[in-house]
Structure 1
Amino acid sequence: MTLVTDTAVKALLTTATSTQVRPRYEGSNICTWIGFKHVNYLVEEAVLDHFRQAGLPARALYEEHGLGLDLVSIDTRILHAFHMDDHAEAQVVPWTKDEDSTLGFKVTVQVERDGEIHKAVTSKVRVSLRTDTYLEAAGEVPGQLARFAVARLGDDLEREPGTAAPAEEEILAALTAGQNAYAWKWNIPYPYCHFTERIQMSGYLRLMEEGKDRFVADRGISIKTLLDDRRWIPVVPRSDIRILDEALMEEDLYTVYTVEEVFKDFTYTSRMDWYVLREGKLVKTATGRIVHGYALIENRRDWKLVNFDQRVLDALNGKAPTA
């Protein structure tokens, strides 16, 4: 039976689907609230199930046609907090124009609260189908999917040219020079990768979460510090990541977390950029942004948003603490 049919592709591109989703237990790190990374995992699962319902599951696309399903962009707004054991409904609406070279989807996740249905998450997702050549030469891509197939992630974009790198031991200093930023080097392990060789979107989401953790610890306001001092926890109303090129298993990845804007004393936006060193040049493989605020834990069920105090503002702005 042929996997890729006109009917299946039409369903993929035009028919909305819905699926039931639950956040994973792992995502509940403070009380029973679910972090932004696992909220994005719900969005990813909804998109994967959309492919399944169209009759084009990720496994079959790869095994039969050598096409790796890669989320290459995810832009998510969180409108209501998720909790452990929540049972939500995710709706996926195709959002691909005739001239697009990636598959687009709009995802809405709804959750019930006290008998009322709330729109909890909205997200825009782009997908590429990466032709696999790692194990064997890829066969011919089915014509109905050809415009979404790429030989390398980012081939559909106008890539930034790589920049000449300084000596390897000076790269981190060069990437943060003159910026309100924090950076680190990390060797990509296989659990962050998929399709045998490259880091996947969920890997970048994990690094985005780690970036926040490392940054605030470096500024003296670590997650545990503010928890112990005043029961403050970070909250994320929005995050987005876009893959620009491929980063491969066991390559060194340079991650830069830069504070772009502190909005009054309520939220701050940070940009994250990822680079690999290839042939003496720094190549940007992904970029994204995350918006953070803080909330006060009122009890085991409830929290409320709070304004930054001077200590936190000084840390976010890279200033010495006030006396």
Structure 2
Amino acid sequence: MSVLALPATVTEHRPRYEGANIRTWIGFKHFMYLVEEAVLDWLRAYTPGARGLYLDCGLGVEIVDCSVQLPATLEVDDLVRARVTATHPGRFAVTLHAVRDGAEVLVLRGKVAIALVRETDSPGGGPIAVGAELLPEPTPELRLAAPPGPVGGFGWSWPAPYYYCHFSDRVQHSGYVRVLEEAVDRYLAHRGISVGRLVRERGWIPVVSRARVRLLAAAHMEEVVHTTFTVEDVLRDTLFDGRMDSYVERGGERIHVATASILHGYAISRGPDAGRPATLDTEVIDALLGSDAP
């Protein structure tokens, strides 16, 4: 049976309460967590699943690329219906619909790619019992093509904590999703337009329209990861396009381990214009595009 002939999985989830940071709206990070859960459900349906692949086959399932578009808001008590369709071995199209008042509202459209990494500490090493034709070829290490050109900008360094890692070894995809959220927050505070300030003074709340996080190579547990964030453009005075890159230094080599992009804006949360996109004024645009050069 070909991948395209397989039926999609449709599962139901609710966003975690942790993601309701501004009123009852859910932040982009938790949209991406729901996508991860939905893909894991697909793997459980058609393959041995992440646990079986690790314990029996010695393979670690790793999300290596997830891009999402977010056309509508998601709220804390929404029931989310996730549909996952395999498009090629290890590649998926994902949609999330929120069920509101008996009707479905599209809240996410995304694409996901996974890798199977051979794990040296796994007790297993046998063949994949079911669904091998649906999965990518295993790889001995996580090493994918990096995007062109170094990107600088505002940055900081952090030791890769075990609770961001998979399989006692490397930083997982959701760890970099968390870092992307932190990178935006740190950058805005560094520029003097922190999320808290704009919420208090203007009633502006952060809104993410699009995000993508890609793993390029392994960053191992407790390695120091160097992360940069820069705003590349401001669009129509309502959105800014940002890019994050993460690196490690190993054996005298600078290794690009992850890259991400985010399209970010603000919505007005109070007054007669509540719910409308905020127009970025000169102060905010100058802060976003300012230089870190001395």
Residue 237 in structure 1 maps to residue 237 in structure 2:
no
Matches within 5 A, 1:102-141: 103-134=90-121, 139-141=125-127
Give the structure-2-normalised TM-score. 0.91
2:266 corresponds to = 294
Of 49, 69, 76, which aligns to 2:41? 49
Q: State whether residues 58 and 122 of structure 2, in contact with CA within 8 Å, keep that contact through their aligned partners in structure 1.
A: no
- Residues 214/159 of structure 1: CA separation in 2 closer, same or farther (3 Å cut): closer
Residue 314 in structure 1 maps to residue 286 in structure 2:
yes
Q: CA deviation at 1:115?
A: 3.9
Q: State whether residues 78 and 236 of structure 1, in contact with CA within 8 Å, keep that contact through their aligned partners in structure 2.
A: yes
| Aligned equivalents of 1:92, 1:311: Cα separation in 2 | 42
Q: State whether residues 296 and 303 of structure 1, in contact with CA within 8 Å, keep that contact through their aligned partners in structure 2.
A: yes
Q: State whether residues 71 and 128 of structure 1, in contact with CA within 8 Å, keep that contact through their aligned partners in structure 2.
A: yes
Spell out, residue by residue over 1:66-119, the C-alpha distance to the aligned partner (whole angstroms, 9 max, x if none): 1111000000000111001110100001010xxxxx610000011133443211
| Aligned equivalents of 2:62, 2:12: Cα separation in 1 | 22
Q: State whether residues 13 and 94 of structure 1, in contact with CA within 8 Å, keep that contact through their aligned partners in structure 2.
A: no
- Residues 52/269 of structure 1: CA separation in 2 closer, same or farther (3 Å cut): same
Spell out, residue by residue over 1:266-314, the C-alpha distance to the aligned partner (whole angstroms, 9 max, x if none): 1011111110001112110111100000111128xx6331111111111
Q: CA deviation at 1:142?
A: 3.6
Alignment-mate amino acid for residue 72 of structure 1 = V
Alignment-mate amino acid for residue 153 of structure 1 = L
| Aligned equivalents of 1:88, 1:142: Cα separation in 2 | 31
| Aligned equivalents of 2:7, 2:141: Cα separation in 1 | 28
Give the structure-1-normalised TM-score. 0.83
Gaps of 5+ in 2: none
Of 51, 65, 68, which aligns to 2:60? 68
| Aligned equivalents of 2:166, 2:4: Cα separation in 1 | 23
- Residues 235/160 of structure 1: CA separation in 2 closer, same or farther (3 Å cut): closer
2:234 corresponds to = 262
| Aligned equivalents of 2:35, 2:28: Cα separation in 1 | 11
Query: Alignment partner of 2:187: what SS?
Result: helix
Q: Aligned residues: percent identity?
A: 41
Residue 149 in structure 1 maps to residue 127 in structure 2:
no
1:99 corresponds to = none
- Residues 13/258 of structure 1: CA separation in 2 closer, same or farther (3 Å cut): farther
Matches within 5 A, 1:118-197: 118-134=105-121, 139-142=125-128, 144=132, 147-154=136-143, 157-158=144-145, 176=152, 181-197=153-169
Q: CA deviation at 1:13?
A: 8.0
Gaps of 5+ in 1: 1-6, 97-101, 164-173
| Aligned equivalents of 1:95, 1:80: Cα separation in 2 | 25
RMSD: 2.4
| Aligned equivalents of 1:149, 1:114: Cα separation in 2 | 44
| Aligned equivalents of 2:35, 2:240: Cα separation in 1 | 24
Moved more, 54-63 or 65-74: 54-63
- Residues 105/43 of structure 1: CA separation in 2 closer, same or farther (3 Å cut): same
Query: Alignment partner of 1:40: what SS?
Result: helix
